[in-house]
Structure 1
Amino acid sequence: MIINSGRPTAPTGGDRWQKVVSEAYFPLDTECRNRADFFGEMDRWSLGVVGLSRIRCDGVLYRRRRRHFLDETESSLLIAIPENEEVQFSQNQRLTSCKPGGFIVERSDAPYEYWHERRNVQFVLKVPSASVRARIGPSERLGGLAFDARQGVASYFLSSLRAAISHIDQLDDAAREAAGNHLLEMLCLAIRSDNRVLDSNISSIRAAHLHRAEQFIRENLKNPELSPKMVAEACGISLRYLQQLLSESDQSINGYIRERRLNRCNEDLRAGGHGTTVAEIAYRWGFADQAQFSKHYKAKFNCTPTQTRKAADRYRNPM
Structure 2
Amino acid sequence: MEASASPTVPASLPEPPWWSTTDVALADRTDAWEAALSDNFRRWQVPDRVAPEFNARLRHRDVAGLRVVECICDPCGGRRLPRHVSQEGAAYIGVQITRSGRESLRAGDERVAVGPGDLVIWTSDQPMEFTVTERLHKVSLILPWDDVKERLPRTGRFRGTVLDSRSGIGAVLYSHIESLASQLEDLEAGELSAVRRATVELLTAAMSCRLEPAPRGLSLQQLKRVQDYILDHLQDETLTPGSIAQAHHISPRYLHLLFGKTGQSVSAYIRQQRLERCGEALSNPSYREHSVAEIAYQWGFTDPAHFSRVFKQHFGHPPGHCRR
Would you say same fold, with TM above 0.5? yes
Match of 1:31 among 46, 63, 77: 46
Distance 1:263 1:168, change over 3 A: closer
Partners of 1:23 and 1:51 in 2: CA distance:
12
Per the alignment, residue 85 of structure 2 pairs with 66
Partners of 1:210 and 1:192 in 2: CA distance:
12
Tell me whether 1:85 sits opposite 2:99 in the alignment.
Answer: no
Partners of 2:102 and 2:250 in 1: CA distance:
48
Match of 1:162 among 146, 153, 178: 178
Where structure 1 has 5 or more consecutive residues not aligned to the other structure, the ranges are 314-319
Per the alignment, residue 12 of structure 2 pairs with none
Per the alignment, residue 301 of structure 2 pairs with 287
Please say if residues 130 and 263 of structure 1, whose CA atoms lie closer than 8 Å, have aligned partners that are also in contact. Answer: no
- Superposition TM-score, scaled by structure 1 size: 0.72
Q: Deviations over 1:243-266 (max 9, x none)?
A: 122234555421332244445656
In the TM superposition, residue 115 of structure 1 has moved relative to its aligned partner by: 1.0
Match of 2:168 among 142, 145, 152: 152
Per the alignment, residue 196 of structure 1 pairs with 209
Q: Deviations over 1:276-319 (max 9, x none)?
A: 57656655654333322332344455x32359759xx8xxxxxx
Please say if residues 50 and 181 of structure 1, whose CA atoms lie closer than 8 Å, have aligned partners that are also in contact. Answer: no
Tell me whether 1:5 sits opposite 2:19 in the alignment.
Answer: no
Tell me whether 1:20 sits opposite 2:36 in the alignment.
Answer: yes
Partners of 1:206 and 1:234 in 2: CA distance:
16
Higher Rg of the two aligned structures: 2
Partners of 1:146 and 1:60 in 2: CA distance:
20
Where structure 2 has 5 or more consecutive residues not aligned to the other structure, the ranges are 1-14
Per the alignment, residue 117 of structure 1 pairs with 132
CA RMSD for the aligned pairs?
3.9
* Residue aligned with 1:61, SS: strand
- Superposition TM-score, scaled by structure 2 size: 0.71
In the TM superposition, residue 141 of structure 1 has moved relative to its aligned partner by: 5.4
Please say if residues 152 and 262 of structure 2, whose CA atoms lie closer than 8 Å, have aligned partners that are also in contact. Answer: no
Tell me whether 1:247 sits opposite 2:266 in the alignment.
Answer: no
Please say if residues 78 and 126 of structure 1, whose CA atoms lie closer than 8 Å, have aligned partners that are also in contact. Answer: yes
Tell me whether 1:230 sits opposite 2:243 in the alignment.
Answer: yes
Please say if residues 160 and 183 of structure 1, whose CA atoms lie closer than 8 Å, have aligned partners that are also in contact. Answer: no
Please say if residues 147 and 200 of structure 2, whose CA atoms lie closer than 8 Å, have aligned partners that are also in contact. Answer: no
* Residue aligned with 1:212, SS: helix
Q: Deviations over 1:3-22 (max 9, x none)?
A: x9225562342322233233
Partners of 1:281 and 1:299 in 2: CA distance:
18
* Residue aligned with 2:188, SS: helix
Partners of 2:277 and 2:142 in 1: CA distance:
17
* Residue aligned with 2:163, SS: strand
* Residue aligned with 2:95, SS: strand
Count of residues paired in the alignment? 295
Please say if residues 77 and 105 of structure 1, whose CA atoms lie closer than 8 Å, have aligned partners that are also in contact. Answer: yes
In the TM superposition, residue 239 of structure 1 has moved relative to its aligned partner by: 0.7
Tell me whether 1:44 sits opposite 2:63 in the alignment.
Answer: no
Please say if residues 93 and 123 of structure 2, whose CA atoms lie closer than 8 Å, have aligned partners that are also in contact. Answer: yes
Distance 1:243 1:304, change over 3 A: same
Match of 2:107, as an amino acid? S
Tell me whether 1:127 sits opposite 2:140 in the alignment.
Answer: no
